[in-house]
Amino acid sequence: MQSAMFSLEGRTALVTGASSGIGRVLALGLAGAGARIVALARRADRLADLVAEITAQGGSAIAAQADVTDPDSIERALDAAEAAFGTVDVVISNAGVTDARNFLKIDAAARDAVMDTNFRGVWNVGQAAARRMVAAKRPGSIINVASVLGLAVQPGLASYCASKGAVIQLTRSMAIDLMQHGIRVNALAPGWFKTELNDAFFESPAGLERIARMPARRLGTLDELVGPVILLASDAGSFMNGSVVVVDGALDALLA
């Protein structure tokens, strides 16, 4: 009976940034919990591979090629989702980019590029999906992927840290404004997980030295994000709203 609380049977989950890394693993994990998946990203070939994998495992999924910085493409993705599965109930706003440079060296265009994807993208997707949930009078769960770098900072990542801090405050604002419609909004704040976003760094001497200084002495594995996201997405998390769920092996807890 308890496991039924974590079930996503009959729900439709839109996952942005599903073509690689965290988004891909979350899409597979949500499908495993019973959700129908709408996999959104710009690289259609990778989305096709993911859809084939979910389908081969007995799940249901469609690919939605879209750019989170382009509101029209998001509307088209939501149209496709509704045509295939009905109103989207769960949104994982995960698409993101990084830019590792000293504050003095980031020009306005580079700053805006990070904000456009990491902050405006989360805004665009969340607003478009929430408007459709409200119009359909359906409850929902929106999970915005922030970072521990939205809570504290590291050198040379000013635009990224600022964008993730903005995602956390946007999440809290969305939670308050959407609560009356039965839509919960939470943020996931991962620590370090090796993906295409950072693999070059974590394979370098500086990256290995960083891992050695982490409380857990290791990176997270992508599967370790699936359980927390299912909790937030499902009825098991029904009173979780406006929260920031940190999944980081105590990285953020240590003053170092």
Instruction: Name the residues annotated as catalytic.
Output: 160
The residue among 4 and 152 lying less far from ligand NAP, judged by its C-beta, is 152
Minimum CB distance to ligand NAP, residue 192 (Å): 4
Query: Which of 117, 185, 192, 123 lies closest to 154 in space, CA to CA?
Result: 192
SS3 79: helix
Query: Which of 162, 154, 61 lies closest to 114 in space, CA to CA?
Result: 162
Residue type, 198: N
CB-side exposure of 66: number of CA atoms within 13 Å? 30
17: its two tokens: 């940034």
Minimum CB distance to ligand NAP, residue 3 (Å): 27
Minimum CB distance to ligand NAP, residue 179 (Å): 24
The residue among 15 and 33 lying less far from ligand NAP, judged by its C-beta, is 15
Burial of 255 (0-12, 13-18, 19+ CB in 10 A): exposed
Q: Which residues form the interface with ligand NAP (CB under 6 A)?
A: 16-17, 19-23, 41-43, 67-69, 94-97, 117, 121, 145, 147, 190, 192-193, 195-198
The residue among 31 and 68 lying less far from ligand NAP, judged by its C-beta, is 68
